[in-house]
Chains A and B, each alone.
Chain A
Amino acid sequence: MLLSVAIPILMKVSFPEEVSPQTRMVFDVIENLPDGSNVLLSYDFDPASEGELLPMAQAFTRHCCAKGHKQYYMTLWPLGSPMVDKSLDTIRSEYPDMIYGEDFVKFDYKAGGEVVIRVIGTDLRAMFPLDSSGVSLDELPMTKNIKNLQDMDVIVNVSAGDPGTKQWVQFASTPYSLTTVSGCTGVQAPQMYPYIPEQLAGVLGAIKAAAEYEQAIAEKYPEIASNPSAQEAKRRMGPQLIAHSLMVGLILLGNWIFFVSRKRGEA
């Protein structure tokens, strides 16, 4: 398994990506919003899932920046704050015209999981009186007129577990009929499909969907296509194919040995 992942990485093996209908749904949600819309991005994951989720989180960030959307970042996980910082670093380095407090803002981590979602559903300042840099929300241009979650046009949730997409669906998307899209781990993705399309507008499931999303963004925005940092998920699909083929091969081999042994035993 180690070699099946290491060798494609060293040889920079890559394959073409075709955007699937599910990924296209998520892409269209962000793309069809009027420029400058309010987008809440909640990064509910930690370094353990960074390999799978950070590429799609960064893709969401670049897409929102390309559309000029106002981005409100938060996290429900204690170790999620540095993940948000990576997106803010991307904005600062790749979109230097965007100004903190006018185009993007970060809120600190707050404990409580679904309680946080429930509270900001009615009153944002009850949970976040200050932003991450200690400035009052009433003093920031992009937050002074925001009362609660219902002032957001879209919620983007990148989730690795609990609290995560399920809680956003239960306490934000369903009660307030808010458009929500999710990027989640491979473990969680199949469980989110029942929520589509009424409660979740779309789901990006695992690294494959992240690669497709990067492809969709690259097709629409060629300037992002030429940025190597924006193709991280696509780079990881090379090792994925080899490792998946190995897995299928191992399953077939194991079963072949099992059936041959059973036949010999019967004989």
Chain B
Amino acid sequence: MEKPQGSNTLIWSIVFIVGAIMLLISLSTSRTGQVWVTPTHHAFTVTSETNSNGGAVWKSIDPSTATNGDITWTTYAAVPEVELEDKITSNEASLSWPRTIGLWLAAMFTLFILSFLVGDNPAYKFAEAMVVGTSAGYVMVIGIWDVFVPDLLANLFPETIKGWVLPGLSPEPLEGLGYALHLVQYIIPAILIVMLLWNLMPSGGWISRWPIALFIGVTAGFRMIGAIEADLLAQIRAGIVPLWQTTDGVFDFWLSFKYFTITIATLSAMVYFFFSIEHKGFIGKTAKVGIWFMMITFGASFGYTVMGRIALLAARLEFLFGEWLHFIPAS
């Protein structure tokens, strides 16, 4: 079936024109796409006390009294929309160019991805390339600062890391054999990381099998324990319930019906998954009933999935209409 190009182009042209008009109206009537911030000044002066790690204790002071030798810096917080006009009038707030540019970039990126509805285009491809690059870089940054530095480097070079990024660290004082064992405990994963990264080399990829094997073994061990305890035994136990249910000593039809349905549905669905016996006759009919119950399950899953997807779209449109265009209060 040929795509009706003409009507598609017309529809999207109308959408873009209406969008551009809405943007112009918004720019002229409100603080569209602007982010205003208020500064908070911080100042710290050293005291004569020492903390539990032997380091100096610094205390917070009034920034206006800061002198040479004190540490000062300024942070900025975005002004909520309800307070914006008051703070601008009283000169407490200033326009933040980095955040304003960021807001416009965020809106542009959102529209670039949305443009895929028109068809694959350079804007979408550009945004897609950015997603991949920034997400990968971001995850690596998190891995470095949240795991690599505090868990590996801090254990291999505690005093260096303590003096650099983690002054709150209190490494255990170890000596002799204890220290040696502690070092070995953390040198092993360091060596394994190097072996894992050998995968990137043109040859010698087999070296990465050692750390991959550790992954596989640990995952297999974990998953087996979790699956047996929580998904197998607990679920079988939960499935064995009396079919004659009472409430206050009186037979409760709907509760009994519910548990009867659950029992029949579970057993018939499990029969469907049992392929060692041919699905004919009574087994075949039971498997059929099992499929019907699973279709109800999948229908419910589909309904919930749709709900989830629409919520995500609603959130993005709220960002565009609220935070960017100010058509509605920003959430």
- The yes or no verdict on A and B being binding partners is yes
Task: Find out whether the CB atom of B142 lies under 8 angstroms from the CB atom of A109.
Answer: yes
Known: A10-B328, A229-B331. A239 touches B314 (CB 8 A): yes
Distance in Å: Cβ of B58 to nearest Cβ of chain A:
14
Task: Find out whether the CB atom of A186 lies under 8 angstroms from the CB atom of B230.
Answer: no
Known: A9-B328, A79-B138, A187-B304. A51 touches B229 (CB 8 A): no
Task: Find out whether the CB atom of A244 lies under 8 angstroms from the CB atom of B146.
Answer: no
- Which residues of B from 147 to 169 have beta carbons under 8 Å from A? 147, 150-151, 166-169
Residues of B within 8 A of A111 (CB): 143, 146-147
Flag B280-316 by CB within 8 Å of A: 1 or 0 each: 0000000000000000010011001111111111111
Task: Find out whether the CB atom of A5 lies under 8 angstroms from the CB atom of B150.
Answer: no
Question: From DSSP, what is the main secondary structure of chain A's interface residues?
Answer: helix
A155 within 8 A of B: no
Residues of B within 8 A of A174 (CB): 229-230, 234
Task: Find out whether the CB atom of A236 lies under 8 angstroms from the CB atom of B314.
Answer: yes
Seen from chain B, the residues whose Cβ lies within 8 Å of a Cβ on chain A are 52, 117, 138-139, 142-143, 146-147, 150-151, 166-170, 218, 222, 226-227, 229-231, 234-235, 237-238, 297, 300-301, 304-318, 321, 327-329, 331
Task: Find out whether the CB atom of A187 lies under 8 angstroms from the CB atom of B222.
Answer: no
Assembly CA distance A130 to B158 (angstroms): 14
Most chain B C-beta atoms within 10 Å of own C-beta, residue among A48, A51, A169: A51
- Which residues of A from 185 to 222 have beta carbons under 8 Å from B? 185-187, 189-191, 194-195, 198-199, 205-208
Assembly CA distance A187 to B298 (angstroms): 11
Residues of A within 8 A of B150 (CB): 108, 129-130
**Cross-interface CB contact of B230 among A48, A78, A169, A228, cutoff 8 Å:** A169
Seen from chain A, the residues whose Cβ lies within 8 Å of a Cβ on chain B are 1-2, 5-6, 9-10, 12, 48-52, 78-79, 81, 108-111, 114-115, 118, 129-130, 134-136, 138-139, 167, 169-171, 173-175, 185-187, 189-191, 194-195, 198-199, 205-208, 228-229, 232, 235-236, 239-240, 243-244, 247
Chain B residue nearest to A46 (CB atoms) is B135
Assembly CA distance A235 to B286 (angstroms): 45
Residues of A within 8 A of B313 (CB): 1-2, 5, 51, 243
Residues of B within 8 A of A191 (CB): 301
Task: Find out whether the CB atom of A244 lies under 8 angstroms from the CB atom of B331.
Answer: no
Distance in Å: Cβ of A5 to nearest Cβ of chain B:
5
Distance in Å: Cβ of B152 to nearest Cβ of chain A:
11
Distance in Å: Cβ of A182 to nearest Cβ of chain B:
13
Most chain A C-beta atoms within 10 Å of own C-beta, residue among B150, B227, B321: B150
